Amino acid sequence: MDRFLVPAMSKPLEGEVEISGAKNAVLAVMAATLLADGISEITNVPHLKDTKTMSDVLRVIGCRIDGGSHELRIDTRGANHLEAPYELVKTMRASFYVLGPLVARFGRCRVSLPGGCAWGPRPVDLHLKGLEALGATINVTHGYVEAVCEGRLPGGTFHFPISSVGATVNVLMAATLANGTSFLHNAAIEPEIDNLVDYLISMGAKIQGRGTRTLTVEGVAELHPGKGETYADRIEAGSFLSGAVITHGRVKVTKMTPEHVGALLSVFEAMGCKVTKGKDWVEVDARNVTLKPVSVTTLPYPGFPTDLQAPLMAILTTVPGISLIQDTVYTDRFTHISELQRLGADIQLTGNTARIIGGKALQGAEVMASDLRAAAALVLAGLVAEGETTISRIYHLDRGYEDFENKMDLLGAKIHRLLE
């Protein structure tokens, strides 16, 4: 298992970095290609472990996949093995996205339950209830979800009791091939959903309400292969901007959508950073800034994203004063705290609220990444720690950050990958 060596107290990050396509968007779009028979194309695809895993899931189903450097062509003409096995779904929850498209197009499928994840249980009940509302019959047996329907799904109305990105993805995809019109209320409005809607429309889907909490989907008998670009990864952008803040540097992220990181930028401004924006770029300047502590609550989009909670916490450990972070989206996503404590951070967790007593100098240590965003947080903390930090289990980081060390290098931070 590879490790990262983060040298002692790097200099402030300074420079410009291009943001890759969004992991969470492309995984949904890849699954959506199953809705049509033929060759779909996706551009701005990031090279990530998770995109490889989704390719493996599609191959098991019978698809052929090839492509250029950041393109994928997914040929679904051989898709006839309507099953996603445990071995793949357990390594990446988004594999569960094949459920909706498969049952909608083929009338039956069998997909492994994803199981828990590093920070606790992550249920899929809303995916299943939503598909049932569209007319699918669902049975959960021996760790697998079996979904069937007679002919086409009838379609229906579903109100998501809480905002769920994944459940919206699955139910929306299934609704596109239903026999009737479906109404999805309290749907998620994350940019990744907009990206999926754009792609589905490129396939001939009839969807109204893009960007709102009510999606109206007039089912069609058939979709054709799609073509579209993956949006920029707002979490990757936010992670590099966090690097500017923690090192008191200046970083410009490009080829991205500033609006998608709005909540993060508001926090950085409240902390005293200078934020400048263009059409497709953002610069955060934290040079010579005395950072102020903040209280932040994670919320569904457009609120502060749970995926940037760990990187923000790393920053706040260095800011004198008391900061609070409450995670209301994933209330137990705090495994990074014990590792930040190993670096000397003073953090107390009560329920879903972390109290960060910031300002104590961090000290390099051996730490372990527990999930993708925790890995990014530990790199950020390591950048400003006294002494070297080694981070194990960085395969988590490889799931979602393309070309990470090289991009850090462009900003002046030398992070070494220790191959094992």
Report the catalytic residues.
117
Query: With 0-12 CB in 10 A as exposed, 13-18 as middle and 19+ as buried, what is 145?
Result: buried
- Decide whether 20 or 306 has the Cβ nearer to ligand UD1: 306
Helix (H, G, I), strand (E, B) or coil at 227: strand
* Residue number closest to ligand UD1, CB atom: 166
Nearest-approach distance from CB 47 to ligand UD1, in angstroms: 17
CB of 410 to ligand UD1, least distance (A): 25
How far from 76 is each of 30, 53, 153, 280, CA to CA, in Å? Answer: 11, 16, 20, 34
Residues that bind ligand UD1 (CB under 6 A): 24, 27, 93-94, 122-127, 162, 164-167, 192, 305-307, 329-330
Minimum CB separation of residue 123 from ligand UD1 in Å reads 4
Tell me which residue has tokens 């007679």: 150
Separation between Cα atoms, residue 369 and residue 52, nearest integer Å? 21
Q: How far is the CB of 327 from ligand UD1 (least distance, A)?
A: 9
Task: Tell me the C-alpha distance between 99 and 54, whole Å.
Answer: 13
CA 228 to chain centroid, in Å, comes to 19
Residue 124 or 153: the one with the smaller Cβ distance to ligand UD1 is 124
| Cα(188)–Cα(184) distance, integer angstroms | 10
Comparing CB distances to ligand UD1, the nearer of 168 and 202 is 168
User: Tokens at residue 315, please?
Assistant: 């920053």
**Rounded Cα distance, 376 and 11, in Å:** 18
Minimum CB separation from ligand UD1 for residue 153, in Å?
18
Closest CB to ligand UD1 among 291 and 308?
Answer: 308
Least gap, CB of 128 to ligand UD1 (angstroms): 7
Residue keyed to tokens 């998770």: 50
**Is 98 or 365 the residue whose CB approaches ligand UD1 more closely?**
98
The DSSP string of 264-289 is HHHHHHHHT-EEEE-SSEEEEE-TT-
Phi/psi at 171 (5° precision): -70, -40
Using the minimum distance from each CB to ligand UD1, give the nearer residue, 93 or 248.
93
Query: Dihedral (C-alpha) 22, 27, 28, 34: value to the nearest 10 degrees?
Result: 140
